[in-house]
Each structure stands twice: as structure tokens, then as C-alpha cells.
Chain A
Amino acid sequence: MRGGLLHLLLPVFFALSLFLGPYGFINPFSHGLGAFVLELRLLRALAASLVGLALAASGSGLQALLKNPLADPYILGVSSGAALGVLAAIAAGFVWPLAVSLSALLGGLAALALVMAVSSALGLTRTSMVLAGVALSYALSSIDMIIMMDLGPAVQGSLAWMFGTVAYALWGELAYAAPLMAAGAAWIFLRAGHLESLMLGDDVAESMGVRARRLRAEVAVASALSTSAAVAVAGPVGFVGLVAPWIARLGSGGAFRRIYPLSLSLGASLTVAADLASRFVEPGGMAPLTSITALMGAPVLVYLLARWRG
């Protein structure tokens, strides 16, 4: 019952996001510049919702799959790969937003392909996936640093991307990224029963007909799809993918099938709220979405943990 109420957060924050901003309150029926700013706010709120949803889906799926409560969407190296794609594009001179976001998407998927290839050779076990992902993340991050040093002043512009923002979202980006995010999240939903059985133990799940190896491959690909698309739109927004499943788990309780939709909704709410806050924390500049989601999400998580303990 309480979980149902938490779903209400999304429409509330979405509506606030349309009405509040440095431009002021906008009459929905106005024309001209006000209408344009309203459209930009709508675009931002939509992008934030989708990104939060996609990252929460990916985080939930990976936490269940890897049986690791600290798993986040980037544990398989997707964000480092996306960053490499973006930096390579900027260094090569492809600075148009669509080119940048496509490079992020391709970079993330390529990183996953590499991790899956390495992990496959090692039996596609949970451990091999995590180790391959972490190793690739470190390797790619160091390459990213080298490229960033070489970029000179443009590095400041790429830093904006690194911290995550939906302020520069475009309808064209959403047009191609939204289906990918939705597809990844839906795919994980279709496997929700399998993931829930996985929580009973690998051998128990196998006895119920769950092919663990195949499930790992599927969920990894689905999660990388939605994560890469989210990173393509907003850059690597951290913390949402880690904390939304946790708030769902602690706030509502229950097994995977029950908390998955709630974690999607909470992920979207958190990101929209963070985007809204970022307009006021540093008006005119850019407050990184990652920091704000962390600042907002961490106290909630600590509170829930404390209440659960007590």
C-alpha cells in the first residue's frame, strides 16, 4: 500500500518541473517565448524521467542478477565506454549533439560487448562479469584521462557531460534513445520472474527452469542497452541506478517482481527532482546531476536503513 503512494512522487515532481525555473511561472496558454521555455522544461522533465527509469531498471536488474547490493548500471563498464566514445568524437571534431550522443551509445555497447566476450571465455559467471567490467572500467577511464588532457579547453565542455545533465536534451535525441531505454527496461521486466527465482539460489532457480547463464547474458545486454541510451541523452548520471532499487526495497519490501516497477518510478522521480533542484542550486551554471541525486538520495537511504535496523 505504501508502495502505491510512492508512485505519486513522479507526477508531482513532473508538474513542479514544468512550473518552476529561472524564467518564472509560465501560463500554459501563453504564446511566444514563454511557450518555448515551457516546451524546453517539458523536454527536460521527460528526458529526466526516462533516464531515471532506465538507470533504475538497469540497476535493479544487475543487483538481482549479480546478487550484489552495490551493483550499479555502470558496473559492467558501460559508462567508461560511453565516455570514451564521447571524448573520441569531440577529439575528432564531431561536436554536434546528435553525434556526441550516438558515440556515447556505441561506446557503451562496445564496452559491454568486450566485457561479455571476456566473461564468456571465463564461463559467464557472476564473478567473471564483475571482474571484467571493473577491469575494463579502469582501463577505459585511464584512456579517457589521457584524451581529456589532450583536449585543452574543450575539456571543460566535456566535463559538463561527465557530470550528467539533461539541460541540453533535444527531441531528436529522445526520439531514438527513448525506445532503447524502454526496450531495455521492458526486457528486464519480462525476465522479472526469472530474476526473482534467482534470489532463491542458483540451483533452485535452475531446477525451476531458469537457465542462469542465458539469463545473465540477456539481463546484461538489456541493462547495457538502457544504460547506454540513458548515458547518450544525459551523460553518466550516477547514484540513481544504485539507490532507487534500494529505496524501493526498503520502503516497500517484497521480492523482485513487486519492487521492480516501484524502483523504476522512484528512479524517474529522483532524477526529475534532481533536475528541478539543479535549476536553483546554481542558476546560470550547471550543477551536476550526479551530485544532486546523491545529495537527495543519500539521506533518504540512510533514513530508511536506520528505520529498518531499528
Chain B
Amino acid sequence: MRTDLNPIVSVDEVSIFFGSARAVDGVSLEVLPGEVLALVGESGSGKTTLIRAIQGLQQVSGGSIRHRERPEQESTDLRADSGVQMIFQDPTGALNPRQTIYDIVAEGLRIRRDGTDEEKRVGDALARAGLRPPERFFPMFPHQISGGQRQRVVIAGAMVMNPILLLADEPVASLDASIRGEILALMRQLVDDTGLSILAVTHDLGLAWNIADRVAVMYLGRIVEIGTTEQILENPQHPYTRALLSVVPETRRMEQQILQGEIPDSKRIPAGCRFHPRCPLYRSGDLDEGIAARCTTEDPHLMLGAGWHAACWAVDPQTK
């Protein structure tokens, strides 16, 4: 990580409502320069809605999202919003089968009417994404390259815009098992070589272990625990994170805690701690009476700040 810790993006108490559904319900989060932050959660946790808002594709109902201004020396005639690029889950669907690799990668530049040194920049982006020598790939079509190479082209298409933040929505979920590793290795390498930041949305805790510096765990529109990857994956504190980790097949040395039912509807968020109806700690009946009472009446809330936090009355004394 760089020593300059001015966040690339600050998400401050952001809420996103769809009618009476509170998809994102008061989330604060910072992405720091040169880090990979994994935003982990199940379907319905609000993680995809949140990154759509960070990308500017989704209006927020409350709170604010602030992007850091690009430093002057980096600024070209690019518009500031090209500093955030997105890579999607399915590379085959993301690439136009009738376009050459060159045209696909150059497309972002052309949309921005930024033709300076196009060929060099396309070549550099492909090389950075590990497609070398880039000239060999210029005239090829997506069906002529492998699945791993297609995801590299998607990444090159993002890198050609010289982004400071990559948003990755399940970047390896649709890839074959043996290809998954090479793409994760590339993402980590881009961060280490260029100081780029990546916010990766995933339900895959192995991805976090493979490439993330920090992990944030979302449940029903809220971040319930955040910390370094080691803190969250090796020593989770929030009962939801603990349950999630206990059912990863590779970590079955822990006693399995299979939660009953599914994430509740975001139109009917439980009162008090939103996790308490499914919480193994609360349901065990072993909690101190005073704490158990808070679980059903007071909403534990994570404040924005560095270090480890869990939104739980029972485990984190700093919970407010």
C-alpha cells in the first residue's frame, strides 16, 4: 500500500431505497490507494447496488459518495469519471464477437474522442493485461482466444482508460476453475505494479484470501464487519461472518453453523440488530440479558474509520 492514505473513494452513510425496499441502508466505506478491498455478501445483501452507485449508475437516496480528484500531473484531457472502470463477470458476454481485440480495447478511448497515441495505448493496455506481444492480438476476434485471454481483454479495455479504481463484480465467478487463478494473479499484479485500487464484489471468500488486503462483509444492506483479510478470515468476530466462514468447505475444521432460512426481504428489515432473528449467539440464549435486550431494540452501527469493526452488541465494545 502507498503511504498516501487519502481515500480514492469515500462512501459516507449511503442509503439506496427502491420504494420501501432498503437495498443499501447506511453504509460507510473507504477504498484506499493501492489496495484490494473485497466486498463480500450473499445475494440480497446490497453489494452490487452499492458498487453501481460508486460507478455513478445508481442514484443514492441518502448520504454521499466522494471520489478523489485526480492529481494534476496525471490529468490529461480525460474526463474525471474515467478514473473508475468496471469489469464484469462474464467475459464472453462482455465482448462483441464481431469486433477485433484492438477495436474492443480502443472503444473507450474513441467514446471519449481521445485519439492521441491510440495504437500505443491499446498495445500497452494489452501488454499490461498479460497479452504479449500485443500486436499479435490486435486483429484477432474473441472466439479465437481462450476464456482466460478473453477476461484479460476485458481488463485491458478497462486499463486503457488509465483508471485509479477498478470495480470488479464477481470477476472470476463464471470462469473455469483452472483459469480463475491466472486472472486473480493478474488483478493482484496490476495493483502491485501500478498502484491502482480494486473494489471486488464477491461471494467467494477464497478470492478474498487470494488477493484482498481488506474485507468488508455485507448483510441486508449494511456492512456488519470490516478489517484486514487476516482479521476477517482467520479470526472473524461478527456471528454472521463466523457462520459464513464455517460453511466454506475448505474451512470445515471449524464447527459448521448453518443458519436457518435466508436473508430477509429488504422491505422488512428486522428491528434492533437486523441479524438477530438468525443469529446463533442471540438464539443460543447464552447472552447476557442486557446485551440480548439491545439486540432486539437497538440497531448496531459501524462508524467510518480505520481498523477492525464488527456491528454487534455482543462482540465489539466499540459498537455504537
A and B associate:
no
